[in-house]
Each structure stands twice: as structure tokens, then as C-alpha cells.
Amino acid sequence: MLLKIGEFLNKNSIGTQDKLDVGIVPFNEAITNFNELNIVFDDVNKPIPKMEICFVDNTIPNDIIETIREKTDILVSLGSCISFKADLILPGISVSDDFLNNVVTAFIEDDLEYLKPLFVMSGENDFRTKTIKVTLDNELCVGCSGCAFICPNVAIEMKNTRPIIDFDSCVHCGCCFMICPKSWNLNEEVEAWC
């Protein structure tokens, strides 16, 4: 199973075997239903093998993350409040099983279009709210209120059909970026801006 996503990441061929070797810590049963995956790592107290993809959350100590980073082709963060560099970030205070299933399916199907916004999110830690700011600065906001509706910390208020963000209340979950129908069209601008 060859992932062309590796080309997008400027890495060598990823997943040349029949199945993808995957790690997930802490372990989550949501990804055990895929015949295309070998779960080869699910406990930070065990040796860290080479992996194609590894999902981690921010409870893992940074020195262990660094070793995982060296051993895995694609590092995915479960949640966006992180102090390390991931290749993809799945937003949410707690990433839902459905979303995780969709992401794994996208990997298996090499669906870069689905995954691309999650790659774009892997910038600096305060990138998520600033993405909305970029949306506003570029006058692309259509006033749909999606960002205000989705924000788990009520950090966004709509005024005159535009979102006002209380940055002190923002917990960098990235949900506003994911829900915004315009931020997804901003890849080039966002990359230039970062």
C-alpha cells in the first residue's frame, strides 16, 4: 500500500508493504477495525518501532515524541494544543472516533484532498485562530457564523456578521479553521503568511 501523501510531504515512498504499520498512543480502539493497518505501537513504555503513521496526543513527554518522530514517516497529533511539530493536526479538544475513522480511511485511500487542511494546520501553535484572522483580513469571510458556533470555549462572538475573537479565551483547538468554508481555500495565502 503506497501513500502518495509522502510526495506531498517531500518524503520517500511511504507504505510499500500490504499493510500500513501504525502506532497510536494512547491506544484507541476506533482504529482497530481496519484490515489495512498493523497496530505496532500503542504503549510508550514499549520499544518504539519504525512506523508509517503514528497518532499521538499531548500527554506524551516531548523526549518520547522526538524518538517517535524519528521512527515514523507521518506524525499525527490528536488535538492541536501541542508543543511539538506534527505533520497533521486533528483539531478538537477530544478528537471524535468518527473523525479519527475518517482520517484513517483517507490515509488508506490516499485521499490527499480530505487530509490537506489537516496538513495546513501543522504550523505554529497559535496558527488556528490566526487563520480566521487571515480569512477576515482577506475579506473572504461570508459571515456564516460557523466559527462562533463551533468554538468550544465561546471565544468567538459575531458582530455585524463578522467574528470577533477573544484571543485570551482561545485554547487553540483549531475547530474554527476546520469549520470555516473559506479558510480551506486559503492554503497558498496561509503558507505564505506563515
Q: Which parts of this chain interact with ligand SF4 (CB under 6 A)? A: 128-129, 132, 135, 141-147, 150-151, 153, 155-156, 163, 165, 170-176, 179-182
| Residue whose CB is less far from ligand SF4, 15 or 174 | 174
Distance CA 115, CA 4 (A): 12
Q: In whole angstroms, how close is the CB of 58 to ligand SF4 at the nearest point?
A: 15
SS3 12: coil
Instruction: Provide the grid cell at 111.
Output: 485521499
Quick one: the chain helix, strand, coil %, rounded to 5?
A: 35, 20, 45
| Residue whose CB is less far from ligand SF4, 72 or 131 | 131
Q: In whole angstroms, how close is the CB of 133 to ligand SF4 at the nearest point?
A: 9
Q: In whole angstroms, how close is the CB of 187 to ligand SF4 at the nearest point?
A: 15
CB neighbours of 98 closer than 8 A, spacing ≥ 6?
A: none
Q: In whole angstroms, how close is the CB of 109 to ligand SF4 at the nearest point?
A: 27
Position of cell 459575531?
158
